[in-house]
Structure 1
Amino acid sequence: MRTQPTNDRCAVVTGLGTCLPDRIVTNDDLARHLDTSHAWIHERTGIARRRIAAPGTATSDLAAAAARAALTSAERTACDLVVVATTTPDQACPATAPRVASALGLTGAAAFDLAAVCSGFVYALSVASSMISAGTCRSALVVGAELYSTIVDPGDRSTAIIFGDGAGAVHLEQGSRSDPGAVLDHDLGSDGDGRDLIAVPRGERYLRMRGREVYVQAVPAMTDSALRVAKSVGWQAGDIDAFVGHQANIRILRSVAKRLGLPEDRVVANIEDVGNTAAASIPLALAWAADQHRIKRGDRLVLTAFGGGLTWGSSALTWSGTRPVHGSLR
């Protein structure tokens, strides 16, 4: 499914914020209680360390800190809409987004959660951008926030080595498709027949994942989605200045980039330092790329994700040159 607006009005990225917990858990830390090693983990995933939140931290705490940082980055104090993409909401009911909006002093703003697992940020960006293009709102915060440490079995080597906690957010405002930062189009899809590949089974507490099968599904789905969204805005694969994929596994990122024909220097990868942060991974990767001067104003970006559901999605945008602000839980 594509969601390209039918007029020149579109959402433009004007702010970028992050929040990562202070605690760093290295591969060597995990090797003390798991049958693994730094070399084994790093070779298979590209991950060296991840952030884990302190007990008592809520997803809304991370989300609010990242969203507040995005507002600061945009030099704004308010917005009309807050969308929080998360697999780990504070509670089953009510949604986490209204709590985040309240923490930011945005009482009265529309606020809701979106659940699409690791594809959540792209899905949420599509929804918020479409609402801005339609004139339903003029500005929005799109937040990906996850506390996967609450749903990962610390004794399960297949998941404990991969996931981390964190949040990232972008601030969007109404603009035109010619503006730097314009969110141009989206491609979204799903296949519920694969719902058991990444899931918290009914009646259980912890996430289970069949990694090899996920890899086989993820690489072609991400590649095809990225190509579709690029084509929809008139880009060839070689026109993409930066490919910002969901940071699930370095092998997946490299395989997709190879299929797209992109050199490694156009692939944004910060998975080594933060692990897989699910819906938070793409905004965290964007912030890392901006800090490292890997993306600049006017660059053509494709964001692509794949996650449980199964779901996948891509977004095409130009970069605004926005500088990220890094929030804190303190």
Structure 2
Amino acid sequence: MFDDALLDEEAALARADATLRELAEAGARVRVDARSATEHQGAAPQDLSPRAVVAVGAEARLLRAVLEPVSPVPFVAWDRPSLPAWASSLDLVVVTSSGDAASRAAVAEAQRRGCMLLVAAAPHSALAEDAAGRWTTLLPVVTADPLAACVAVLQALHAAGLAPSTDAEGVAGCLDAVAIACSPFRDLGSNRAKQVADAVGDAQPLLWGGSVLAARAARRWAEGLRRVAGLPTFAGPATDLVPLLESAGPRDVFADPVDGEASARPRLVVLDDGSDDPRVRAERGGLAGAAERHDVGVDTVAAHDGDALGRYAALVATGGFVAAYVAVGLGL
């Protein structure tokens, strides 16, 4: 059973110190990797003019979500064992990875086909050594943070004329703001992450984000809540969530949660990145209406500052704090 008193208990928070500290340092990791990549990549890959870009490895789908609407060439996020059959020396393969076998295999295949390579990897790592070659641009990253590596890659793609400018300091600032707002030193009354953790700790969270990036952030929330706190969590589009809301039975006001009589009810969590798309507004209204009709609670987590990537980073970071606080409240 979730105990909200633990969220402000010093001893309980101390047990989660390593996790909370790692979350709080996310902004610093973005700065470190962005600076490392900029200082050591040498000449910016300005002469790249690929027919298409294929992204593989960690955060490949994030790169696609950010770049697909604005990329001057086709942009593909690829998660299969081998590269697309059409990939050749005309194409650029982007790899962001800590060096898993799949990414190393993608690098080896790209080199066999003569593809241009842009690789974010730790210096002297196996992946960096595999990627070394005439047509490779290596971005040395040192923190093993996928988001930080993604920011470094976006900066390099901007230098090559393949992406809009990415404000690494702005993204880091958004992450710093979340770390301050969600700090364990802020009590439940003024800490949004603790408040949401309290709301979903004994519930079945249903997560929704309307824009492409907010929907991706919702999936990251679900992964974190399942992994860290073991909560049965679902993230999906409004068309999938409305039936789940409508299937919620009436609340039993006499059930005693202390005796285990109260069953976990759905709890809708809306991730708002400030999108003004009419479709997003309509879907959000439909979800709110379904939740109200079936007495399902709703929590909204908003991130309206910064650019699109900064708002995404803020939502994901807040989800990390929520998952950590759920684990604290459950005594895990």
What TM-score results when the alignment is normalised by the length of structure 1?
0.28
> Quick check: which has more Rg, 1 or 2?
2
Q: Which has the higher strand share?
A: 1
Higher relative contact order, chain-length normalized (CA < 8 Å, sep 6+): 1
What TM-score results when the alignment is normalised by the length of structure 2?
0.28
Q: Which has the higher helix share?
A: 2
